[in-house]
């Protein structure tokens, strides 16, 4: 639940105001003048609070909630506690995200450049750009309007950021271009050398990494993730792709739009990933492989060959998930002696 020590609410709002948000419809029995002061989980919500129901496993908590209002699917109408006002949505979780963002919008930048920041005279900063303490911005960097650059960041020469970008503490960027509304969390490193070398028994020979990192708009990159610049071709991240914490993306990797890449995934160099692909946590992908549009890679899977569009792969080496579970079941039977002939 929101702690006022860390989070400042913009509320209260009436149910009528909340019902103007995307994907929300006020139930006909609900009073649009009802005031909502905060958002909280089902089991912690009380009078004046709004909550949500999106998972059937929390049905009992829904029946017992003390909240004033709840975002719920259509089928919850008539099965809700007496006195609970409903906001109907086909996707309650997504609707709740819009509502929570109304109460707790992103903290705007101050437009202040800290006196300890070191900024090259040739750098171009748009209006209302904030720069935190001890940040270094090198020659010819371009930063769009309303960007927030946190403390201890390092922006290498000639990079470009679009509008409304946010960089967390100790982010380091070089050899890259960012679109609009890109969020870079604490400790992210973008544009460093890719792991490129010619193996040699006497001494490995470094291959110069001469590409860039191109990141689209509305991208999120989680804390301590790293994205290497290309060796020749560029490393590319498509619009609306969200990358979790501790993800490693190698040189020359091309990732499409709308992808979701969960924590501790490693993607080796020159891989290609289509649009709307999902990687579960700790999955790995070998270099020069392709994952087709809409495919899903299960957690801890190891992708060593191409994955067709729309398929769900699991295991190591990764294979179609039905095949994976059939093989697992067979091994389980054999381990119990049920598959052997006497």
The catalytic residue positions are 251
Which are the contacts of 175, defined by CB distance < 8 A and separation ≥ 6? 156, 159, 191, 211, 212, 213, 229
Q: Which two tokens stand for residue 269?
A: 């160099």
Residue that has been written with the tokens 């829904």 in this structure? 62
CA distance 276 to 292: 9
Q: How is residue 113 annotated by DSSP?
A: B
Half-sphere exposure of 319 (CA within 13 A, CB side): 9
Q: Which residues contact 10 (CB under 8 A, 6 or more apart)?
A: 102, 103, 104, 105
Residues 6+ apart with CB under 8 A from 285: 265, 266, 267, 268, 271, 273, 279, 291, 297, 302, 303
The span from the CA of 69 to the CA of 92, in Å, is 13
What tokens were used for 7?
């989070």
Residue bearing tokens 């295991």: 315
Cα–Cα distance between 7 and 108 in angstroms, integer? Answer: 13
């Amino acid at each position: 639940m929101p702690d006022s020590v860390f989070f400042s609410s913009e509320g209260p709002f009436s149910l009528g105001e909340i019902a103007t948000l995307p994907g929300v419809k006020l139930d006909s029995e609900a009073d649009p003048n009802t005031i909502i002061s905060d958002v909280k989980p089902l089991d912690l919500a009380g009078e004046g609070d709004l909550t949500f129901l999106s998972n059937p496993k929390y049905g009992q908590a829904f029946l017992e909630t003390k909240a004033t209002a709840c975002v719920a699917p259509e089928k919850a109408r008539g099965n809700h506690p007496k006195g609970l006002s409903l906001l109907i949505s086909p996707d309650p979780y997504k609707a709740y995200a819009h509502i929570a963002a109304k109460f707790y919008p992103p903290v705007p930048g101050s437009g202040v450049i800290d006196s300890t920041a070191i900024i090259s005279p040739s750098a171009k900063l748009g209006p209302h750009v904030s720069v935190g303490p001890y940040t270094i911005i090198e020659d010819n960097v371009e930063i769009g309007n309303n960007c927030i650059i946190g403390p201890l960041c390092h922006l290498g020469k000639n990079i470009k950021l679009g509008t409304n970008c946010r960089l967390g503490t100790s982010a380091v960027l070089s050899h890259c271009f960012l679109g609009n509304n890109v969020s870079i969390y604490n400790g992210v490193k973008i544009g460093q050398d890719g792991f490129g070398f010619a193996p040699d028994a006497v001494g490995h020979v470094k291959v110069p990494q001469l590409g860039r990192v191109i990141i689209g708009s509305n991208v999120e990159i989680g804390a301590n993730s790293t994205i290497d610049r290309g060796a020749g071709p560029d490393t590319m991240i498509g619009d609306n792709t969200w990358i979790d914490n501790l993800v490693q993306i190698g040189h020359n990797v091309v990732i499409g739009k709308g992808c979701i890449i969960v924590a501790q995934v490693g993607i080796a160099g020159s891989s290609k990933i289509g649009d709307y692909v999902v990687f579960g946590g700790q999955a790995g992908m070998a270099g020069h492989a392709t994952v087709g549009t809409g495919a899903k890679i299960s957690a801890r899977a190891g992708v060593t060959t191409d994955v067709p569009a729309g398929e769900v792969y699991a295991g190591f080496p990764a294979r179609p998930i039905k095949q994976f579970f059939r093989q697992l079941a067979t091994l389980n039977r054999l381990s119990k002696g049920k598959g052997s002939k006497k």
